[in-house]
Amino acid sequence: MTPTAVLAAMAALAPYHADRDDSPESRRALYMPTATAIATVARTPEEAAALIAQAWHESHFARYVLEGRCSEGPPGQRCDPDAHGVARARGPWQVWRVACRAADVAGEARCVLGQMRMGLARCSSWGGALAALDGQWRCGDAAVRVQTMRRVLATMGGRK
């Protein structure tokens, strides 16, 4: 899996509504660090697609999130805040520091993928693995996220 293939799959998803006027070149530049992180940590196309789907559902790759400006997002769409309104979640996957101490996107990708792998082993399905990321470690069924994962896999030419 190359960063270019991951980037193409990310760019095929609808952009965050406030970023729709960004040029394709601007979007590619914004997404490239995340694409590189995914390509670095994912061992299979399914893992890459799961990371892309999870990030898209969590942040839609919004510019303000990827640039680390969560507090500047629209009310109701800012990164998960604590009781004082300070963002706890960060990055495209909206990981919390208590779940992942990594301070860069590659480390966050590694943390999220590790949690996905544990969820996959425990739940025996990608739906369960993605649902288990809610912090409660339940084996649910993240059907919409799995549907996105399948669309991403198809974009990358992988299995459906």
Written as tens digits, the pLDDT of the chain (160 aa) is 899 999 999 999 999 999 999 999 999 999 999 999 999 999 999 999 999 999 999 999 999 999 998 878 887 777 777 777 777 788 999 988 888 888 899 999 999 999 999 999 999 999 999 998 876 667 888 899 999 999 999 998 765 4
User: What are the C-alpha distances in Å from 98 to residues 102, 114, 118?
Assistant: 10, 15, 17
Residue 58 lies in a domain: yes
Residue 119 lies in a domain: yes
Residue 7 lies in a domain: yes
Contact in structure between 54 and 23 (CB atoms under 8 Å): no
Residue 37 lies in a domain: yes
With a CB cutoff of 8 Å and minimum separation 6, the contacts of 83 are none
Residue 160 lies in a domain: no
The count of domains in the chain is 1
Determine the structural domain holding residue 23 and report its residue range.
Answer: 3-155
Contact in structure between 33 and 105 (CB atoms under 8 Å): yes
